[in-house]
Structure 1
Amino acid sequence: MPNGFFSWDRQTPLIKGNHREITQCVVIFLEKKPDLFPQVLDGVITALPPPAHGNSAKELLILAEIARLLQGVSVDNFKKVEKKLRTVVKNRVR
């Protein structure tokens, strides 16, 4: 039975093809419901692979998604997630 990374890697081409559109849908959703940003970001962060699989296609897609979501976030909502986001980035940088 293949491991989780192998299964993910086989799906990468499919996800890459739709990722931008899906992220844009989330951005539009957050424009209408900005108070849900912390919960959405939590969900995105939980999808990150372990740091041992750093620079994987999945990690790069998710980091790009986080960057895109942060472009439209208010200062108040950013302050709600700043500590968690710093921890995530710190754990990813070696």
Structure 2
Amino acid sequence: MRHFLFVALVLAAPAAATPTITVAAGPSVQVATHDLDLATPAGQQRLDGRLRRAATQVCTFTHLRDLAESRLADRCRAETLARAREQRPAIIAD
């Protein structure tokens, strides 16, 4: 059985008073898991590495002009990785 995780772009929406996080209809990356033995720690570590790379891929902005935009990219990666990791237990259990 083929398994894939989808890592979607998460953007911080600009707000006047309180910053909010929204899921944008933006880039996503398919993370293949069919070739991993997720019953082993080594397989799970490889999955985690793939999730980190996917989050970096969807949250890399080409024109970071200042510290605020750099922080936005960092936050995007952290939020995206957290959302992807929510799917991890179900994939490992399957």
Q: TM-score, normalised by structure 1?
A: 0.29
**Higher helix proportion, which one?**
1
Select the structure of larger CA radius of gyration. 2
